[in-house]
Structure 1
Amino acid sequence: MTELFGTDGIRGLANRYPMDAELAFNLGRAIGYYNKNKKSKNILIGRDTRISGSMLEAALTAGLCSMGSNVLNTGIITTPAVGYLTKYYEASMGVVISASHNPYYDNGIKLFRENGLKLNKESEKEIEGILFQEKYKKIQNTRKTIGQVIALKEAGKVYLDFLVTTIPQDFARPEFKIVLDCAHGSASQIIPELFTRLKINFKAINNTPNGININQKCGSTHISTLQSEVLKEKADLGLAFDGDADRVLAVDEKGQIIDGDQIMTIYAHAYLREGRLGNNIIVTTHMSNLGFDETIQGMGGTVVRTDIGDKHVLEKMLEMNSWLGGEQSGHIIFLRYSPSGDGLITTFQLLDALNKNNERISVQAGRMKKYHQKLFNYRISDKKYLRNSNALQKMDKEMQKYLGGDGRSLIRLSGTENKIRILLESKEEKKIMECQKVIEKYVSHF
């Protein structure tokens, strides 16, 4: 059976399989069938600003309604908001139509359980089985089994009110100027609304979505736009969101990038000393900088690493009873408030920590001394050959001669493409350059 769900839902080029209207319609029917015995017949749907979103939303809605499910439509809203609102409105499932940080011509579909957590792999497999085996055709549809579409006009306000409750009670309005890059995405309206409500001095950029400008030379994947704006405005801080606002990166007053590792470092510095970080364990992935581990350990905390992806981070956080976890990309989970990475929750936790630390932002971010780190992507002809040979082990063994004891390598085969990804890290940049020569010698034969 074909695998439809990838590492984070379904994703692909819009208007082509699997991101076409036919698949979305049949997926809606499959979801309706999957939820047929649930207490609630309501399915909540939200989407980002890309042009294909309304088409996929309409097709998915039609499929759901044909199976008797009611659709609670939030309209344009962030991915973490869909998780929260699914639980708030007691829907049996939540669906978000978004390709996150990807360009407008991509789109994706992610599913949430009734408790606001992303659907697990077993449930995704079950829905795939219903879809490909067309089990939904076993139900005899009648005019009595047609669901309704209910527009949730207050969904944005409900979510905004929730965000306000996550802000610490002793939060002091920052006295510095902030530039917000909204990536022409799903938070383009709610971010300025929230900052206005809290009377924070800000300037919003890239907050006029037109369906095709989402993530286009803006947002967290094109942060140079924000860097220039921060310097031009002589701002103290810049914040860059992605298209669905589940992550955020920052820029300090000097125009330097503050990544997810550094954001967690700033937060940890403020809260570890107050004993307000649970059991002082922070979960991150194998992609995080080794300097992060050293810095957190120096503050009295413990770093636990896990596989790449927010699902793995959350699983490890729950296992370790950790309150804070995240990725270098700016996808950070504050578990006491939400089981999902949320760029807006992260924003206000960061602002609170910056105030408590009471130092220039560049100084706070600079507490973490980064190792030199470089990620290489190479296209290869045959992944199966590499899996079944010892070529990767030989290459890695040769690289270790240069890296020594103060560096590391991480070699991964892409799950979706014929590509190999290699992360190199060392205190000395010249060691990475030597390892690059080793990689290129081997990759030419892959």
Structure 2
Amino acid sequence: MGKYFGTDGFRGEANKQLTVEHAFKVGRFIGWYYGAARDKSCKVVIGKDTRRSSYMFEYALVAGLTASGADVYLLHVTTTPSVAYVVRTEEDFDCGIMISASHNPYYDNGIKLINDRGEKMTEDVIAEIEAYLDGESGEVPLAYGDKIGCTVDYSAGRNRYIGYLISLATRSYKGMRVGLDCSNGSAWMIAKSVFDALGAKTYVINNHPDGFNINTDCGSTHIHVLQDFVKEKQLDVGFAFDGDADRCIAVDENGKVIDGDLILYVCGRYMKEHGKLTNNTVVTTVMSNFGLYKAFDKVGINYEKTNVGDKYVYENMQQNGHRIGGEQSGHIIFSKYASTGDGILTAIKVMEVMLEEKQSLGKLAEPVTIYPQLLKNVRVRDKKTAREDKDVMAAVDAVADKLGSEGRILVRESGTEPVIRVMVEAPDDATCEKYVSEVVDVIYQKGHAVAQ
């Protein structure tokens, strides 16, 4: 990760960590880098979520891009995966930009950069952008005369994406009662349009964005709202999205949460049984639940484990040709259909399994027993020193031996904070608490922890 850009773009509180000056300069560099620096014209597509500050950053980016000679195509309020889709499927776009802080509160925002393949921008380009932001690479030239860029209303691109999603459904949803929690974010119009077109009886909540209520007590990070709604309305299934709709968490007919791990099981098993699970492998992260792996073992599905972050999941899928992967948080990637996590696409694929198998979502997820999980964060003076302390490692090994095949322990360094994360999964909460404490106590005893 760089100084400004992390695994999911340049993110921070609007006009504090992320300012309009940053956005303008990002636009200036990208417009030049993909245009004048290569002696060609440059085309960039931009989407945004519903935060009030998204408009401010959109205008700043547009000013920078057009000043450097780029033509900018505006999708307006749309989802992150729609930006990736438009860039990926139209040959003449050089890159895409999504203005969103995903599941963060309204006062945060972010700039996500997407390359011409619909993937996250490569690290070498990010490094050049950061050098420009810090004034290390000099100024880039302004465009003059007929070289100055223009803006184009490109809502047609968003509509094309909606049509693409509809085309992926294998059956009509007629007779299905579906709840959608749009998190007052990017999915607020798109999700309902898709499910209505497919014939569902659609019940929608949190689809009235006002610039401030995105992700506020709603969406995939506040799933209890949809749980209550599904039970109250006696719906067949519910789907909750986050602010930019690249995540999906489902709720079954009984109001039970079907998180990303359970979605990976439901869809992965279906794909295996229908000969669609390339390499017989599902890609997960190290934070996926131990119960998911035991369920995969029972049905003979292999799995990969990557670092936390959908970026790492996608990289593994690309390198090895795997077709499905994702995170517990609901970032699910179906690489045959998309180059990024896509919440609405994920909901469509879950609906496919339900309809083709003629089973409820609760029944489909039933074979997975989710293990209790306890995670404690310990603020330390130095992450590497604490993690590699021989006594800490010995304590971790001792817990792993005691757990055997009935659980697991994971100790890792935070990617963004001076924190060591200690996580244990076991058959019961008491065992989780006992073994997490054994390791945390050693970290404190050895003087690594910072008093809080």
Normalising by the smaller structure, the TM-score range is: over 0.9
How much identity, in percent, do the aligned residues show? 38
**SS of structure 2 residue aligned to 1:99:** coil
1:29–1:67 Cα contact (<8 Å) kept: yes
Matched AA of 1:55: M
**SS of structure 2 residue aligned to 1:58:** helix
1:174–1:355 Cα contact (<8 Å) kept: no
Asked whether 1:137 is paired with 2:139, we answer yes
Match of 1:218 in 2: 218
Match of 1:71 in 2: 72
Matched AA of 1:412: R
Matched AA of 1:73: L
Match of 1:23 in 2: 22
**SS of structure 2 residue aligned to 1:137:** coil
Match of 2:255 in 1: 255
Following the alignment from structure 1 to structure 2, what is the Cα–Cα distance between the partners of residues 366 and 388?
Answer: 39
Change (3 A) 1:179 1:139: same
**Which has the higher mean CA deviation after the structures are superposed, 413-422 or 344-353?**
413-422
Unaligned runs of 5+ in 1: none
2:20–2:57 Cα contact (<8 Å) kept: yes
Match of 1:61 in 2: 62
Change (3 A) 1:351 1:390: same
Match of 1:239 in 2: 239
Change (3 A) 1:387 1:401: closer
CA offset digits 1:144-163 (Å, max 9, x no partner):
43211111132221110111
**SS of structure 2 residue aligned to 1:154:** helix
CA offset digits 1:73-112 (Å, max 9, x no partner):
1111100111111233421110001000111011111111
**SS of structure 1 residue aligned to 2:106:** coil
**Which has the higher mean CA deviation after the structures are superposed, 413-422 or 234-243?**
413-422
Following the alignment from structure 2 to structure 1, what is the Cα–Cα distance between the partners of residues 270 and 23?
Answer: 45
1:40–1:91 Cα contact (<8 Å) kept: no
Match of 1:368 in 2: 368
1:82–1:95 Cα contact (<8 Å) kept: yes
State the Cα distance separating 1:193 from its structure 2 match: 0.9
Match of 1:305 in 2: 305
Match of 1:101 in 2: 103
Match of 1:80 in 2: 81
1:283–1:303 Cα contact (<8 Å) kept: yes
Structure 1 residues 223-372: aligned runs within 5 Å: 223-372=223-372
Match of 2:383 in 1: 383
Following the alignment from structure 2 to structure 1, what is the Cα–Cα distance between the partners of residues 298 and 23?
Answer: 50
CA offset digits 1:280-308 (Å, max 9, x no partner):
21111111112222222322321121121
Matched AA of 2:139: K
2:46–2:75 Cα contact (<8 Å) kept: yes
CA offset digits 1:287-345 (Å, max 9, x no partner):
11122222223223211211211121111112222111111111111111111110111
Matched AA of 2:58: E
Asked whether 1:422 is paired with 2:419, we answer no
Following the alignment from structure 2 to structure 1, what is the Cα–Cα distance between the partners of residues 256 and 164?
Answer: 31
State the Cα distance separating 1:388 from its structure 2 match: 6.2
Match of 1:192 in 2: 192
Unaligned runs of 5+ in 2: none
**Which has the higher mean CA deviation after the structures are superposed, 47-56 or 133-142?**
133-142
Match of 2:46 in 1: 45
1:306–1:312 Cα contact (<8 Å) kept: yes
Change (3 A) 1:299 1:440: closer
Change (3 A) 1:404 1:189: same
**Which has the higher mean CA deviation after the structures are superposed, 193-202 or 404-413?**
404-413
Following the alignment from structure 1 to structure 2, what is the Cα–Cα distance between the partners of residues 174 and 394?
Answer: 57
**Which has the higher mean CA deviation after the structures are superposed, 207-216 or 254-263?**
254-263
Following the alignment from structure 1 to structure 2, what is the Cα–Cα distance between the partners of residues 69 and 136?
Answer: 19
1:115 alignment partner, one of 109, 114, 117: 117
Asked whether 1:33 is paired with 2:42, we answer no
Matched AA of 1:302: N
State the Cα distance separating 1:378 from its structure 2 match: 3.2
Following the alignment from structure 2 to structure 1, what is the Cα–Cα distance between the partners of residues 271 and 10?
Answer: 37
Following the alignment from structure 1 to structure 2, what is the Cα–Cα distance between the partners of residues 196 and 250?
Answer: 18
User: TM-score, normalization: structure 2?
Assistant: 0.93
Following the alignment from structure 1 to structure 2, what is the Cα–Cα distance between the partners of residues 185 and 103?
Answer: 11
Following the alignment from structure 2 to structure 1, what is the Cα–Cα distance between the partners of residues 174 and 368?
Answer: 23
Match of 2:408 in 1: 408
1:29–1:136 Cα contact (<8 Å) kept: no
State the Cα distance separating 1:423 from its structure 2 match: 1.9
2:29–2:140 Cα contact (<8 Å) kept: no
**Which has the higher mean CA deviation after the structures are superposed, 253-262 or 131-140?**
131-140
Match of 2:160 in 1: 158
1:180–1:204 Cα contact (<8 Å) kept: yes
Matched AA of 1:433: E
Following the alignment from structure 2 to structure 1, what is the Cα–Cα distance between the partners of residues 385 and 268?
Answer: 44
CA offset digits 1:216-262 (Å, max 9, x no partner):
00000000111111111111211110000001001112211101111
Matched AA of 2:19: D
User: TM-score, normalization: structure 1?
Assistant: 0.94
Q: CA RMSD in A?
A: 2.0
